[in-house]
A and B are shown apart, each in its own frame.
Chain A
Amino acid sequence: MSGIQSEPSGALLAVRNLVVQFSSTRGFLVRRHVSTVRAVDDISFELQQGEIICLVGESGCGKTTTGRAIVALERPVSGSIVFKGLELVGLGARQSHRVTRHIQMVFQDPYSSLNPRMTVGASVAEPLVIHRVGSPEDRRQRVGELLDAVGLHPESSAQLPHQFSGGQRQRIALARALALNPELLILDEPTSALDVSIQAQILNLLADLREKYSLTYLFISHDLAIVRWLGDRVVVMYLGRIMEVAPSDDLFQTPLHPYTVALLSALPVPDPTVEDQRKRIVLEGEVPSAANIPVGCRFAGRCWLWRELGSPEQCQEMEPELSCVAKDHLVACHYSGEAAVRPFGLDPSVD
Chain B
Amino acid sequence: MSESGLERTTETRLLPASNHPGAGDGLLSPLLSVERLEVQFRAKHGAVRAVNGVTFQVSSGEMLGLVGESGSGKSVTSLAIMRLFPRDGSVISMGRVWFDGQDILSIPEPAMRRLRGRDMAIVFQNPMTSLNPTMRVGLQIAEILMVHEGLGRRQAFERSEALLQMVGVPAVHESLAKYAHEFSGGMQQRITIAMALALQPRLLIADEPTTALDVTIQAQVLDLIRERAAETGMAVVLITHNLGVAAGLTQRIAVMYAGLLVEVGETRSIFASPRHPYTVGLLGSLPRADYHRVKLTPIPGMPPVQVEEPKGCPFAPRCARQISVCSTETPALRSMGRQVAKPSRAVPNTCSHLVACHNPVPTEETPLMPLGSRRD
| A-side contacts of B44, CB under 8 Å | none
Looking across the interface, which residue of chain A has its beta carbon closest to that of B183? A286
Give the residue of B215, B281, B287, B289 whose beta carbon is less than 8 angstroms from that of A197. Answer: B281
Residue of A nearest to B281 (CB): A197
> Is A222 a contact of B215 with CB atoms below 8 Å?
yes
Check if B288 is an interface residue, CB within 8 A of chain A.
yes
CB proximity of A63 to chain B, nearest CB, Å: 12
A268 at the binding interface (Cβ < 8 Å): yes
B285 touches A200 (CB 8 A): yes
Q: In the complex, are the beta carbons of B302 and A268 less than 8 A apart?
A: no
- In contact, B293 and A229 (Cβ under 8 angstroms): yes
Q: Is the CB of A271 within 8 A of B285?
A: no
Per the bound structure, the CA–CA distance linking A350 and B296 in Å amounts to 21
Q: Is the C-beta of A324 less than 8 angstroms from some C-beta in chain B?
A: no
Q: Which of A58, A198, A225 contacts B216 (CB 8 A)?
A: A58
* A272 with B293, Cβ < 8 A, contacts A197-B282, A229-B287, A286-B186 known: no
Q: Which residues of A contact B297 (CB under 8 A)?
A: 200
Asked if A269 and B215 sit within 8 Å, CB to CB, the answer is no
Contact in complex: B294, A263 (CB < 8 Å): no
B82: shortest Cβ distance to chain A, in Å?
A: 24
Q: Are A280 and B219 in contact (CB under 8 A)?
A: yes
A308 contacts chain B at the CB level, 8 A cutoff: no
Q: Is B283 an interface residue (CB 8 A)?
A: yes
The answer to whether the Cβ of A133 comes within 8 Å of any Cβ in the partner chain is no
Interface residues of B in 284-343 (CB under 8 A from A): 284-294, 296-300, 302-303
Taking the complex as formed, is B241 at the interface, i.e. its CB lies under 8 A from any CB of chain A? yes
State whether A197 touches B299 (Cβ < 8 A).
yes
- Is A204 located at the chain interface by the 8 A CB criterion? yes
The answer to whether the Cβ of B104 comes within 8 Å of any Cβ in the partner chain is no
**Chain B residue with the shortest CB-CB distance to A229:** B287
Nearest A residue to B298 by beta-carbon distance?
Answer: A200
Interface centre among A59, A167, A228, A263 (most CB of B within 10 A): A228
In Å, the complex CA distance between A344 and B248 comes to 13
Q: Is A267 an interface residue (CB 8 A)?
A: yes
Residue of B nearest to A56 (CB): B215
Residue among A197, A225, A351 making CB contact with B298, cutoff 8 Å = A197
Chain A residues with CB below 8 A from B272, complex form: 273
A145 within 8 A of B: no
Scan B344-376; emit 1 where CB is below 8 A from any A CB, else 0.
110000000000000000000000100000011
Assess whether A268 is in contact with B244, with CB atoms less than 8 Å apart: yes
Task: Tell me if A95 is interfacial: C-beta within 8 Å of chain B.
Answer: no
How would residues 219 to 253 of chain A score, 1 for a CB under 8 Å from any chain B CB and 0 otherwise? 00010111111100000000000000000010011
8 Å CB contacts to A: which residues of B21-56? none
Candidate in B215, B285, B292 with the most chain A CB atoms within 10 angstroms: B215
Most chain B CB neighbours (cut-off 10 Å) among A58, A196, A266:
A196
Nearest-neighbour CB distance to chain A for B275, whole angstroms, equals 16
Q: Majority SS of interface residues in chain A?
A: helix
Residues on A with C-beta less than 8 A from B303 are: 195
What sequence of 0s and 1s flags, for each residue 243-285 of chain A, a beta carbon within 8 Å of any chain B beta carbon?
0000001001100000000111111111111111000101100
Please tell me which one of the listed residues B292, B298, B375 contacts residue A198 in the complex, with CB atoms under 8 A apart: B298
Q: Mark A118-148, 1 if CB is under 8 A from B, else 0.
A: 0000000000000000000000000000000
A203 part of interface (Cβ distance < 8 Å): yes
Query: Within 8 Å CB of B69, what residues of A?
Result: 195-197
> Are A200 and B248 in contact, CB atoms less than 8 angstroms apart?
no
Determine whether A77 belongs to the interface, using a CB cutoff of 8 Å to chain B.
Answer: no
Contact status A196-B294, CB under 8 Å: no
Interface assignment of A318: CB less than 8 Å from any CB of chain B? no
Which residues of chain B are near A227, meaning CB under 8 Å? 289
Q: Mark B242-278 against chain A: 1 for CB-CB distance below 8 A, else 0.
A: 1111111000000000000000000110011000000
Cα A287 to Cα B187 in complex, Å, equals: 12
Instruction: Report if A269-B376 is in contact (Cβ < 8 Å); known contacts: A203-B287, A280-B219.
Output: no
A199 at the interface (CB under 8 A from B): yes
Chain A contact residue count (CB 8 A cutoff): 49
CB-based contact B290/A252 at 8 Å: yes
| A5 contact set on B, CB distance < 8 A | none
**Cα distance, A271 to B298, chains bound together (Å):** 18
Contacts of A196 in B (CB 8 A): 69, 241, 243, 282, 285-286
Q: Is B11 an interface residue (CB 8 A)?
A: no
Q: How far is the CB of B274 from chain A (nearest CB, A)?
A: 11
By beta carbon, the residue of chain B nearest A285 is B170
Contacts of A270 in B (CB 8 A): 243-244, 246-247, 271, 283, 286, 288
Contacts of B286 in A (CB 8 A): 196, 200, 225, 270
* Chain B residue with Cβ nearest A270: B243
Tell me, rounded to whole Å, the shortest Cβ–Cβ distance linking B247 to chain A: 5
| B217 and A286 form a contact (CB under 8 A) | yes
Taking a contact as CB atoms under 8 Å apart, the answer to whether A282 and B219 are in contact is yes
Instruction: Report if B70 contacts A (CB, 8 A).
Output: yes
Interchain CB contact under 8 A, A271 and B271: yes
Interface residue A48 (Cβ < 8 Å from any Cβ of B): no
Q: Which of B216, B288, B292 contacts A263 (CB 8 A)?
A: B216
Measured between alpha carbons, how far is A287 from B185 in the docked complex, in Å?
A: 11
Q: In the complex, A256→B47 CA distance in Å? A: 55
B-chain residues with CB within 8 Å of residue A273 when the two chains form the complex: 268, 271-272
Asked if A342 and B244 sit within 8 Å, CB to CB, the answer is: no
Which single residue of chain A is at the shortest CB-CB distance from B242?
A: A268
In the complex with contacts A268-B247, A274-B290, A195-B70 CB distance below 8 A: yes
Cβ of A201 under 8 Å from chain B: yes
Q: Which residues of A contact B106 (CB under 8 A)?
A: none
Q: Does A4 contact B (CB under 8 A)?
A: no
CB within 8 Å of A: which residues of B? 69-70, 184, 186-187, 214-220, 222-223, 241-248, 267-268, 271-272, 281-294, 296-300, 302-303, 344-345, 368, 375-376
Cβ contacts A to B, 14 pairs, < 8 Å: A196-B243, A197-B282, A199-B285, A199-B298, A200-B284, A267-B289, A268-B245, A269-B290, A270-B244, A272-B344, A275-B248, A282-B216, A344-B376, A346-B290
Given contacts A229-B293, A286-B184, 6 further A-B contacts (CB under 8 A): A196-B286, A199-B298, A201-B300, A224-B289, A252-B289, A275-B247
Q: Which 9 A-B pairs have the closest CB atoms?
A: A268-B244, A200-B298, A229-B287, A200-B285, A266-B219, A195-B69, A58-B214, A275-B248, A270-B243
